[in-house]
Amino acid sequence: METIARDAAHVLFALGFPPLLLGVIGKTKAFFAGRVGPPVLQPYYDLIKLFQKGSVIGGTTTWVFRAGPAAGLATAALASLFIPLAGAAAPVSFAGDLVLFAYLLGLGRFFTALAALDTGSPFEGMGAAREVTFACLAEPAFFLGLLVLAKLTGSLSMGGMLGGSLAAHWSTAGASLALVLLSWFIVLLAENSRIPFDDPNTHLELTMIHEVMVLDHSGPAFGMILYGAAIKLFVFSALVARVAFSAGLGSAWLAWPVFVVGMLLIAVVVGVVESVMARLRLLHVPTLLVAACLLSAFGVVLLAR
Amino acid sequence: MNTSGLTLTRAGQAIPRGSIAALPFADFRRVVIDQAREGLAVAALFGDVPAGSERVDLYVVLADRESSRLGVGKTTLELDAFASLTPDCARVHLFEREIAEQYGVRPEGHPWLKPVRFHGSYRSGHDAWGRGPGEPIVVGVTDFFRVEGEEIHEVAVGPVHAGVIEPGHFRFQCHGEQVFHLEISLGYQHRGIERSLVGGPDKKTAHLMEVVAGDTSIGHATAYCRVVEALAGRQPPIRADALRAIALELERLANHTGDLGALAGDVGFLPTASYCGRLRGDFLNLTALICGSRFGRGMVRPGGVRFDVEPSRVEECSKRLKKALRDVTTAVDLLWNSSSVQARFEGTGTVSLEVATDLGLVGPAARACGLECDSRRDFPSGIYRFAQAPISSWNTGDVFARAYVRWLEIERSAAFIMDQLQSLPDGPIEAPAGALRPDHLAISLVEGWRGEICHVALTDHAGRFARYKIVDPSFHNWMGLAMALRDEQISDFPLCNKSFNLSYCGHDL
How many angstroms separate the CA atoms of A89 and A161, rounded? 11
Q: Does B2 score more than 70 pLDDT?
A: no
Of A84, A183, A193, which Cα lies nearest the Cα of A143?
A: A183
Per-residue pLDDT, averaged over A60-89, amounts to: 90
Question: Which of the four pLDDT bands, split at 50, 70 and 90, describes residue B227?
Answer: very high
Q: Enumerate residues 6+ apart whose C-beta is below 8 A from A8.
A: none
A36 and chain B: CB distance < 8 Å anywhere?
no
Domains of chain B and any CATH numbers: 7-108 (3.30.460.80), 152-185 (no CATH), 193-508 (1.10.645.10)
Per-residue pLDDT, averaged over A34-47, amounts to: 92
The residue extents of the domains of chain A are 2-303
How many angstroms separate the CA atoms of B392 and B373, rounded? 9
Q: Does A305 score more than 70 pLDDT?
A: no
Q: Does B247 score more than 70 pLDDT?
A: yes
Share of chain A above pLDDT 90, in %: 53
SS3 B172: strand
Q: Does B3 score more than 70 pLDDT?
A: no
pLDDT at B398: 92
What's the ipTM? Answer: 0.81
A280 to B343: CB separation less than 8 angstroms, yes or no: yes
User: pLDDT tens digits for B28-87?
Assistant: 999 999 888 888 899 999 999 888 888 899 999 999 988 889 999 999 888 888 999 999
Search chain A and give the residue with CA nearest B269.
A278
pLDDT at A87: 66
How many angstroms separate the CA atoms of B466 and B448, rounded? 25
Q: Does B471 score more than 70 pLDDT?
A: yes
pLDDT at B157: 86
Provide, as residue numbers in chain B, all residues whose Cβ is less than 8 Å from the Cβ of A196.
Answer: 268, 340
Provide, as residue numbers in chain B, all residues whose Cβ is less than 8 Å from the Cβ of A284.
Answer: 343
Nearest by CB to A195, which of B268, B348, B490?
A: B268
Q: Classify burial at A101, counting beta carbons within 10 Å of its beta carbon; exposed 0-12, middle 13-18, buried 19 or more.
A: buried
More confident residue, B148 or B158: B148
How many angstroms separate the CA atoms of B349 and B436, rounded? 46
Question: Which of the four pLDDT bands, split at 50, 70 and 90, describes residue B1?
Answer: low
* Mean pLDDT rounded to a whole number for chain B: 90
Q: pTM score, two decimals?
A: 0.88
pLDDT at B433: 76
The residues that bridge with B445 in the sheet, in sequence order, are B454
B153 to A206: CB separation less than 8 angstroms, yes or no: no
How many angstroms separate the CA atoms of B219 and B249, rounded? 9
pLDDT at A198: 84
Q: Parallel, antiparallel, or unpaired for β B300-301 and B440-448?
A: unpaired
pLDDT at B143: 87
B266 to A29: CB separation less than 8 angstroms, yes or no: no
Give, in order, the Cα–Cα distances in Å from A304 to each of A147, A172, A173, A267, B151.
11, 13, 11, 33, 45
Q: Does A278 score more than 80 pLDDT?
A: yes
Region of poorest pLDDT, from B12-21, B108-117, B124-133:
B124-133
Q: Does A205 score more than 80 pLDDT?
A: no
Per-residue pLDDT, averaged over A290-298, amounts to: 94
Per-residue pLDDT, averaged over A200-228, amounts to: 85
SS3 A116: helix
A35 and chain B: CB distance < 8 Å anywhere?
yes
